[in-house]
Amino acid sequence: MGSSPAAAAAVEELTRLYRELPRRPSAEEVEAAAAVLASAEAEDAAARLAQVEVAAPQPPEDGVPGEILDVLREAWDNAVPPIGLLRRRKEAEIVVEVDRRFKVFDELLARLSRVVATLSEPPAAEAGEERVDSAPVPTAPAELVEEAVRRTPRGFTGGLDDEMVLCEILVRLPARSILRCRAVCTSWRRLTSDPAFLRAHHRRQPDLPLIYFRRGDSDYVGAIDLHAAQLRPVIDYTWPFGYTVIASCDGLLLLSSGRFYICNPATNHWAEIPQLVDGDFLGLYPHSLSGEYRILYGEFHGEEECVYHIITLGSDEPKRIRMTMGSSEPVEQPLAREFLMHARGDRSVLVRGNLHWYLRHRDEGCKIMVFDTVSESFQWMRHPAVPGWVSLLEMDNTLVFSAVECMSRIDLWVLQDHERSIWACKHRIELPMVQIRQFPECNLEHLGWSAMIVSVEGDVLVRCSNRIFHCDRKGNVLASFQFDGQLPMNCLHRLKENLVLHPFFRM
């Protein structure tokens, strides 16, 4: 992986410590243990109150000396029920403590993975970057191991197989580091090529916002790692003509430059989709029943008619479908044409098997059109009535709605009930314009700017001049990325790296 023998030894040591942990308790066991501790605390409080009452001076009962009563009180305090309660408490404390230590090691493994990735990656400096305010990150795996040793549970035995622990580390690495790991040895190549590992690796990868920037006569696409405050290169090819990312799905990018290409930046696989040249792209999605990846697009036939097609990646023949609104009856051509004229495929949003578009309907105002990818039918959805520049986005498998009403504020709405179209405003974020104006090139009155929410936690990317600022929901600037070329542009799409191989790239 390009790291030193000392770094490899540090990884091995952390792996050994992880193996010595006992079986990880389930969420139900941790919840039950917490309930036992809460009950024990309540019983302790009641017992202390009773002891106070008993300790109060009381006249001896008839025929029973006071010393005998004292003996009985002490016997009650040391009776079997309190001992049983103590045993249950100790067992619950062990469960909670083991769960806490697993959480510590989860964080250590994540930090170690980031450091190993840094050691194995070449500097990614297509665009300059500047850390403004962020937590310090250890610069060597040995520092992580020292912390692990300080927190390591003693006296525990049992644990996981070496390969499973190695997986816990490797699944957190970027795709480029995984490809380098395959050159270490045969067993690592076998492990990192296994389909189950590749699926787990994809699930662990961060969902990174994409940006465009231009250098000279070439276009570039990069991804911003918010946690590490780094710009990752996504597409290394430099084309002499402009292209845009019009869709992203499971690590796949659909690119358009007059011609259409599907690509996987993690594996560097590309394929052309010639069927889209004469059509209007509407959306890219995985078909849950077949496991195929499909594209929805439409075509105008003359002035009165339009048709819709679905094509499966790897297939030459598209399938024609009728535009239906939740039933078997097709919609009238005026609505079908109006949707195709106003729906923008590059702004389609895939959430839980449905494609969504924000558009203006001629008679019913602004609405969201939804396409069910299983039933292949359409329906309308209400959205929050908010002013300003709006965007429909997907975050954490949830449909969200961002609205920029003025230069200094952006709101995030989250869909809580899909069936009833119920939305709730989760964040109202004041943008740090005072801090941004401190940069000489950021004259907001004369230069274009844009703001886009990129996480449900309220992270925002603000573009101004040749900089992109990463801000949190409290209005703090966490990082600044400076670009030497032309103005960067926020992209509505995101990339979650995926090393899974697809047959349509080999056709």
Give the per-residue pLDDT at 121: 53
Q: In what order do the strands lie in the sheet containing 398-406? A: 389-395, 398-406, 409-417, 422-430
Domains in the chain: boundaries: 5-124+132-196
pLDDT band at 50 (very low <50, low <70, confident <90, very high): low
Convert the pLDDT of each residue in 480-501 to its tens digit: 888 876 678 877 899 999 999 9
Give the per-residue pLDDT at 489: 80
- Residue 228, C-beta contacts closer than 8 angstroms, at least 6 positions apart: 114, 137
Tokens matching residue 102: 């697993």
As a whole-number percent, the residues of the chain with pLDDT over 70 amount to 72
User: HEC states along 136-167?
Assistant: CCCCCHHHHHHHHHHHCCCCCCCCCCHHHHHH
Give the per-residue pLDDT at 447: 59
Question: Within 13 A of 286's CA, how many CA atoms are on the CB side?
Answer: 12
CA–CA dist 124, 128 (Å, integer): 9
Contact 309, 321 (CB under 8 A): yes
pLDDT of 248 above 90: yes
Residue 466 has phi, psi (to 5 degrees) of -100, 25
Q: What pTM value is reported for the model?
A: 0.69
Q: Collapse the DSSP code of 420 into the 3-class scheme (helix H, G, I; strand E, B; otherwise coil) and give the result.
A: coil
pLDDT of 285 above 90: yes
Q: Give the range among 115-124, 225-234, 323-332 with minimum mean pLDDT.
A: 115-124
Convert the pLDDT of each residue in 321-350 to its tens digit: 888 876 666 777 777 888 888 788 888 999
